[in-house]
Structure 1
Amino acid sequence: MSEVKVNEEAQEKTAAELEAEEAAMAAEQRSAGEDVQEEQPGGSEAETEEGGENQVVDAEAELARVNEEIAELRDRMLRGAAENENFKKRIERERQASLKYAGETIFREILPVVDNLERAVGQGITEGVDAEKNLKALLEGVELTLKSLVGILEKFEVKPIESVGQPFDPQHQEALTMEATDKVPANHVVTEFEKGYYYKDRLLRAAKVIVSSGESK
């Protein structure tokens, strides 16, 4: 065998060995890659399961907190509704009581007037005393009582209507009749049969008057 042929066989052998080594290395690399890929999916699944459990726990805690807030708000709403209903009932009771006893203050003020009238009547019929003196005492008592009563009316803003000598006003006065007179101009009030009154800014009672028809002929 010649030297050239030996060298060619040696080169062919070397090339074959290199190809075999490269194929073996490639196989090892592929195997290592598959092992890595097999491990990675397993780790990701475990992490996903753990994260899912944490999310479920957080959701349950949040739901419990929201339910607690809802229960607290519902309790507040029920208490507020009950308090509002009790307030309305109390206001209605007070309103009914104020209407029922609206005149209590006025009557309490009038009672002393009744007392004064009783005293005046008692003094006016004293036995063993001259009738003129009895009458004078009675008149004085009545005058004092009238003064007291007028004061009470003024206290409650009840004021008389001044009619005598004033022009006749059909909105505040009622004409009973007409009378000829030289002292009062025509269509003016001559005398009052019944005094009229205002209560604050409202007409409480119209005055009943006699109106002048002018000079007599």
Structure 2
Amino acid sequence: RAFGFVGNLNAVLFRPEDIELVTDAPSLRRKFLDNLFYQFDREYRFAHINYQKVVVSRNRLLEAIRDEGKPRSSLDFWNEKILEYGKIIHQKREDFFDFVNGGTWVYLDYKPNIVSPSRIEEHLEREIASAQTLVGPHRDDFLFMEGERDLSKYGSRGEQRKAVLQIKKWEIDYLLAKTDRKPVLLLDDIFSELDEENREQVLREIKNQQTILTTTDEHITKEFPDPLVIRI
């Protein structure tokens, strides 16, 4: 049932806390990618769901090899599945980064944790010791860069917010390119967090597409020709 719903409604959510995409843990950035692809790509969704199951099963087996002396050859099946699903996930993610990078002040530096037979073999001893799968897209990351400058470490708060605005615009453009439909833009009380330049950038963007906006500033409605306003 969930697979049947994929693509019925594409949406881009923008919240004040999205600045954490730049500054916080890699898991948030992987979740961003997963949420993006889950909206329109059934192959990605299928591969990702099964990949997660494989990692859980493989971790249990690594623990059994360490603690119970199970043969290492019992990993062969799960290694094949890690390779199969991991390759699909990496290819899809690389397509997104190829699409967005170039022509703007910021770029996304993709750090794929490549899965291959040689890397699985290279990390096997550490994997058994930790009972954790250490190779694959569940350990991917990407960085927001301006030239050689990592904005998570060296960017100002304003630059980090501007970078988030850019990735949201890329998300809109990518969904449009893949589905031929503009996504609904969901804005959750973001204007109080933006400076004038970024505020104007958002307003320019949302005038071109369907937007659902929550705000405590009623004056924002004057920026639109015919808004439907619901007061709560």
What is the TM-score of this pair, normalised by structure 2? 0.23
What is the TM-score of this pair, normalised by structure 1? 0.24
Larger Rg: 1
